[in-house]
Homo-oligomer: A and B are copies of this chain.
């Protein structure tokens, strides 16, 4: 009766798969994200909520990669990619608390997904050497940084801006 079991934190209606024995590619943690939030409950529900709170977070780029920041001051907004290193990766179908019904990981912004990457578009507030102060992150303090990119509204925001179909949560 796998549906009734909760031994591994799987709720009724959720489905775990057996993940491959090996990874296909590797990631370097290129820095760390400093935020005011030490637990999931404290975190903003999503980047919009974080933007509205105006909380300032700090992205610390590790030394070997700091040279890759050259020219970043030209941009008002960045895409931040980070790794949700505490999330399990095998739950392809999940029952988020705010939905109460099963939904696929690719139809959710849940941290639980085969590759637990998240992205936020942030506003760049200040640069001091290898540290960027930004507004718009919603992750835990200490989250590993994976990538930074300039954000281009004309490329990254499609002209059709569909309304969200309901309340947006990260789980």
Chain A residues within CB distance 8 Å of chain B: 15, 17-20, 22-30, 46-48, 51, 61, 64-65, 67-72, 74-79, 81, 83, 85, 89, 92-93, 102-109, 113-115, 117, 119, 121, 123, 136, 144, 146-158, 160-165, 168
Contact = CB atoms under 8 A, between A and B. Distances in A.
Contacts of A117: 81, 117, 146-147
B26 A123 contact: no
Copy count, this protein chain:
2
Contact of A72 (B83, B107, B149, B162): B107
Contact of A17 (B64, B74, B85): B64
A85 B102 CA distance: 33
A19 B15 contact: no
Contacts of A89: 28
A44 to B, nearest CB: 11
Contact of A121 (B15, B107, B157): B157
A72 B106 contact: yes
